[in-house]
Amino acid sequence: MTESSAATGTPRRHPTAGFRIFEGQATIVMPDGSYIHVLNEIGSRVWDLLNGQRTESDIVDLICEEFEITRDVAEKDVREFLAALEANRMLG
């Protein structure tokens, strides 16, 4: 079984995902074709940052900086968001 990028500590978007970020909003199409995902502003930014080069902690730092939210809130939001992406097989 292949280890997901989330488990290795530097999560990344699934390489087969089709997506565009337009006016700060990400629209994502997975190849199973069943859903089109539209993310909110913070989710879109996290998605943009998921290049497999940054740790979850790096991403939290950037979100704190850019959206002026506390680290506790950012940690919880990013963790839950990554779990949702993992559950939807959108990380790879």
Partner 1 sequence: MNAYQAIIARNWKSATPYSALFELTYICNHACSFCYNCPTGQKELNTQQVFEALRKIADFGVLFLTLSGGEPLCRKDFFEIAREAQRLHFAIRIYTNAFLIDEAMAERLKQEVHPFELEISLHGARPETHEALTRVPGSFQKLVNAVKALRQRDMKVLLKTPITRLNMGEVREIRALAEELDSELHFDNVITPKDDGDQEPLELGADEAFMKRWWSDEFKDVREEKVPMRRDDKEISAVCGTGRSGFALDPYGNIYPCVQWRRRVANIMEIPSMKEVWRGSSVLKEIRRVAEEIPQTTLKNSEVGEFTAFCAGVAWLQTGDPTKMYPQAEVLARYRKKTYVELQARAAAGEIIEGLDQTFEKCGE
31 binds partner 1 (CB under 8 A): yes
47 or 60: CB nearest partner 1: 47
Q: Nearest CA to 89 among 20, 25, 39, 30?
A: 30
Strands, sheet with 18-22, edge to edge from the N-terminal-most edge strand: 18-22, 25-29, 36-38
At position 14, the amino acid (one-letter code) is H
Shortest distance, position 41 Cβ to partner 1, whole Å? 12
Q: Which of residues 38-67 bind partner 1 (CB under 8 A)?
A: 38
Shortest distance, position 67 Cβ to partner 1, whole Å? 19
Is residue 2 within 8 A of residue 89, CB to CB? The reply is no
List residues binding partner 1 (CB under 8 A): 15-20, 22, 25, 27, 29-33, 36, 38
